[in-house]
Amino acid sequence: MNLRIILRTGASVFGLSAILLVAAPGLFLELLGLDGTSEPLMWAMRMIGITLVALAGNMWMNSLQGDDEKVRQVGVVMAVSATALGVLTLMIPVPLTWFAIVYSIVGFSFGAAYVIALISSRR
């Protein structure tokens, strides 16, 4: 697996999530089983969406410009973060929805992909 491709793919997924979080935070909340009408929660989702724009941009740019060692370092950060996203999604304080399960699987899948790519990049 190529770490740079995984970073760009992850950046695209985060970018799409960011658009949904900023444009339709209530829908995202409802898909997670949370109150999609709560103004404070919708505000928080929009803030997270803007943060994801920055993260996605950094992931994309690092995949294109960084030397191999820097890209590996970004991969380590993303392996931990993607796995943590999967764990936190499963710990949501409401009954799990199909979307929360799928979202956590996406996080775990990216975490695993980063780890596999990091291991293969050392060979």
* pLDDT at residue 76 in the model: 96
* Mean pLDDT, all residues of the chain: 96
Q: Which two tokens stand for residue 55?
A: 């993260």
Q: Is the pLDDT of residue 1 over 70?
A: no
In angstroms, rounded to a whole number, what is the distance separating the alpha carbons of residues 40 and 101?
A: 24
Q: Is the pLDDT of residue 102 over 80?
A: yes
Cβ-based neighbour number of residue 64 at 10 Å: 10
Q: Is the pLDDT of residue 44 over 80?
A: yes
* pLDDT at residue 66 in the model: 74
Q: What is the pTM of this model?
A: 0.90
Residue-range domain boundaries for the chain: 3-121
Q: Is the pLDDT of residue 123 over 90?
A: no
Question: Which of 1-5, 53-57, 81-85, 96-100 shows the lowest per-residue confidence on average (mean pLDDT)?
Answer: 1-5
CB contact burial 30-51 (16+ within 10 A = b; e otherwise): ebbbbebeeeebbeebbebbee
Confidence of residue 92 (pLDDT cuts 50, 70, 90): very high
